[in-house]
Structure formats: C-alpha cells, structure tokens
C-alpha cells in the first residue's frame, strides 16, 4: 500500500510518537553518518514547490541527502507549467521518470484532495493552501518534546496571522490529539472562528505568564489584501518585545516557523534570546523530515 504524509489528522498518536522517536534517533546520530546514510540509498525524491520556500525545501533536501537519497528540485518558473501543464501531469511525468516520492507545496487548499488516487508514489504535504503544514507540526512537536516532560497539558499561545497560517492549523490538530491547550492571540480579523475545547481566544499579555510556549507568526500579506494596522502599531499591540518576554513564566520558550519579520511580530533581539528555540526548530526540521521520508518508503500499511 502506498503511504502518504498529508496531514497530522490522518495519523494516530502512536504514529506521531513513532515519528518523533525516530527523529530523536536521527538527532542523536547526526554526527554518525554510517548509522543513517545507507537507509534510503538509491532512492530519489522530487521537491515540487509551487510557492517560494527556504526552510522547508532546503530542509527536505538536506534530510534526503543525510539518508543517502538523491533529490531533484522542480522549479515551476523553468518548466512546462509555463506552457499550461497541470499539476497532475507534472507529477505524473515525475513518477514516469522514476522518482520514489514527491514532496509538494502548493497554494491550493484542496490540492491533495484533487490528486487523491491518481498518483502511484508516496506524496508528502510540504504546505498546502492555508490549512496545514504537517511536517512543520511534527518538528514543533519534536521541539516541545525536547523541552518538556510530556505534551499533554502544555499551554501554547499562537500570536499573529492565524487565519492564514497552515502552521497554526497543524498545531491546533496536534493540540486535540495530545491534550494541549492553545490560546489564539492577535488582531480579531485574523483569528478564525473555532469551536473546540482545546482552543481559546485570549489576549497575549494576559496569557504570557501562563503558557509554556509562545508561537509567533508573521502577517502573510501574500494570502490576503493586508492589515489595517501599520507595522509600528502592530508591534506595539501584538509583537513579542523584550518587555513581553519578561512577562513569560520561567522555562517557557519562544517559537517561530519562519520567515520572521524582525521588528514587526518579533523584536530583533528576541529572535536569538536565550528563551528562543527558533533556530533549534530549523535544526529539528531536518530530523523530523528524515523521519517522514523514511516512513513513507517503509514497508507496511498506513497504520504502521
């Protein structure tokens, strides 16, 4: 059976725990290539990114190479997409050329539903539309696991453009699966209507002393027409400043999926603050994606 990695919602908690444990293994043995470099030797992946990306695309590329696999980077601007080729025909062409798995990012919310059952090699969701970014969700869970004894009971504030954030979408799915409490903060126009016992709408300054982690998000101007607040006012009302960091409880951490806009949603000096785990998230992204690449090509069914 073909195994796809499309959503945290389609995975059991045991499967997610298994992926986290495997990512931890890769983290422990990152300096021992003899233990990992052979695992996906002679395998070939295609990075198919219809949207710009630095961290996710490069992270998947590094992950594949660490496992001994090869990877090709498909660039729509230099392809037959410019001649009108559909996503399906592009992916089918890559399958026909012999790739073993496809890593896809696209702006369409329903791209994977439209491709369901049409492709014959594993598909990995590298960020689709504005709903989910499951590999980011996995690396965020990995980072939280490294910082806290257990996921259950953790309180996390997410602040920023939540309505258009697939990162927030995946974290909210994880919250329900693992019993975490999510506080949504930011401009009212950018907070979605959600009816869920694990998710609350809160004022950032009110919850900072209570939460274990603060996930800051940038304003995704490319997904909507803009924001009425100017940058200075936005930072004053919702930005993570040194003062707001001082309100956080002891041992709480700062997260951000990137790219970050210094001085808008997060102060320049807070990006590398001792509480910040932003660059650790990026490091963990390689290990989480190594686990994903290995999993989709492993034998067995989707429940393994």
**What amino acid positions are annotated as catalytic residues?**
55-56, 83, 105, 133
Asked whether the beta carbons of 151 and 141 are under 8 A apart, the reply is yes
Cα–Cα distance, 220 to 222 (Å, whole number): 5
Asked whether the beta carbons of 132 and 124 are under 8 A apart, the reply is no
Determine how many CB atoms are found less than 10 A away from the CB of residue 228.
8
For residue 216, list its beta bridge partners. Answer: 159
Q: Tokens representing 255? A: 């997260």
Tallying the residues shown for the chain, one arrives at 304
* Residues in contact with 259: Cβ distance below 8 Å, sequence separation at least 6, in sequence order: 54, 55, 218
* Residues in contact with 262: Cβ distance below 8 Å, sequence separation at least 6, in sequence order: 268, 271
Asked whether the beta carbons of 150 and 130 are under 8 A apart, the reply is no
């Amino acid at each position: 059976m073909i195994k796809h990695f499309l959503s945290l919602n389609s995975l059991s908690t045991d499967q997610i725990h298994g992926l986290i444990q495997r990512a931890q293994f890769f983290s422990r043995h990152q300096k021992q290539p003899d233990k990992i470099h052979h695992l996906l030797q002679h395998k070939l992946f295609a990075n198919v990114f219809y949207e710009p990306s630095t961290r996710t695309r490069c992270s998947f590329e590094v992950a594949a190479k660490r496992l001994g696999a090869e990877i090709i980077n498909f660039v729509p601007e230099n392809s037959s997409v410019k001649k009108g080729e559909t996503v399906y025909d592009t992916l089918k062409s890559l399958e026909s050329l012999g790739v073993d798995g496809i890593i896809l990012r696209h702006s369409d919310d329903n791209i994977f539903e439209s491709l369901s059952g049409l492709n014959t090699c594993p598909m990995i969701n590298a960020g689709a539309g504005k709903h989910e970014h499951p590999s980011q969700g996995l690396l965020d869970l990995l980072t939280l696991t490294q910082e806290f004894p257990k996921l259950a009971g953790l309180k996390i504030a997410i602040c920023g453009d939540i309505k258009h954030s697939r990162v927030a979408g995946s974290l909210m799915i994880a919250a329900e699966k693992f019993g975490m409490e999510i506080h949504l903060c930011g401009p009212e126009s950018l907070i979605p209507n959600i009816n869920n016992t694990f998710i609350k709408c809160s004022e950032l300054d009110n919850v900072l002393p209570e939460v274990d982690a603060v996930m800051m998000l940038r304003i995704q101007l490319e997904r909507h027409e803009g924001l009425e607040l100017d940058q200075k006012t936005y930072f004053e009302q919702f930005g993570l400043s040194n003062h707001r960091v001082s309100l956080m409880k002891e041992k709480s951490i700062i997260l951000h999926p990137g790219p970050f806009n210094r001085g808008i949603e997060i102060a320049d000096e807070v990006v590398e603050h001792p509480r910040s785990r932003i660059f650790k998230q990026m490091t963990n992204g390689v290990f989480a994606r190594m686990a994903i690449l290995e999993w989709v090509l492993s034998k067995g069914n989707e429940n393994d």
